[in-house]
């Protein structure tokens, strides 16, 4: 089954928050969105052209601040309608998690496989590092209880990511102890 292209919805959602440049959108993917969705830089600009061609966003190019030419994208009424329609819809399909580590584990048949320990240790290192990063992001983005109310959906996503990574780290610790 073909995977649904959700990049237009992500871009519409980000631009709906505030006008953004392509660079701003790239930065959003490197920080917050990148915790749960990845995209190539070139895909952003291709999709922005499509959205503009469809009349769902409009662009304004000019010189801003320090005389650098920038193009800002802004959502249109048509774009807001599409975004709202998507937000109101539900899918009954669970996405497949593409995890190369899990795939490699699947093909290791023996506990005595010499690659197993290194594979587990490396995954533990990576997951522990990601967990710490997520905890730091939580402290930075939501420094107090009141701040989570300003963007509760974002808070829930970050909380979910922390819990997911904590469980992954716990599972790896348990396996490595055996």
Q: What pLDDT is stored for residue 146 in this prediction?
A: 84
| Burial (0-12, 13-18, 19+ Cβ within 10 Å), 146 | exposed
Domains in the chain and their CATH numbers?
7-88 (1.10.10.10), 100-177 (no CATH)
Q: What pLDDT is stored for residue 1 in this prediction?
A: 43
Q: What pLDDT is stored for residue 172 in this prediction?
A: 96
pTM listed for this prediction: 0.70
Quick one: CA torsion of 173, 174, 175, 178, rounded to 10 degrees? 120
Q: Mean pLDDT by 10-residue block, N- to C-terminus, for the chain (178 residues)?
A: 76 94 90 78 93 96 80 96 91 72 89 93 96 93 85 89 95 93
Place of tokens 């300003």: 150
């Amino acid at each position: 089954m073909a995977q649904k292209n959700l990049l237009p919805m992500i871009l519409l959602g980000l631009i709906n928050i505030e006008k953004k440049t392509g660079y701003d959108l790239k930065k959003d993917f490197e920080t917050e969105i990148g915790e749960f969705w990845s995209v190539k830089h070139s895909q952003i600009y291709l999709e922005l052209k499509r959205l503009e061609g469809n009349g769902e966003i409009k662009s304004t190019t000019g010189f801003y601040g320090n005389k650098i030419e920038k193009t800002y994208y802004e959502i249109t009424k048509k774009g807001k309608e599409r975004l709202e329609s998507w937000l109101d819809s539900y899918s009954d399909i669970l996405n497949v998690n593409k995890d190369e580590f899990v795939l490699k584990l699947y093909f290791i048949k023996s506990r005595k496989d010499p690659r197993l320990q290194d594979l587990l240790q490396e995954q533990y290192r990576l997951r522990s590092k990601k967990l710490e990063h997520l905890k730091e992001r939580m402290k930075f983005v939501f420094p107090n209880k009141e701040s989570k109310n300003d963007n509760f959906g974002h808070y829930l996503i970050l909380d979910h990511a922390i819990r997911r990574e904590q469980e992954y780290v716990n599972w790896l610790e348990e396996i490595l102890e055996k």
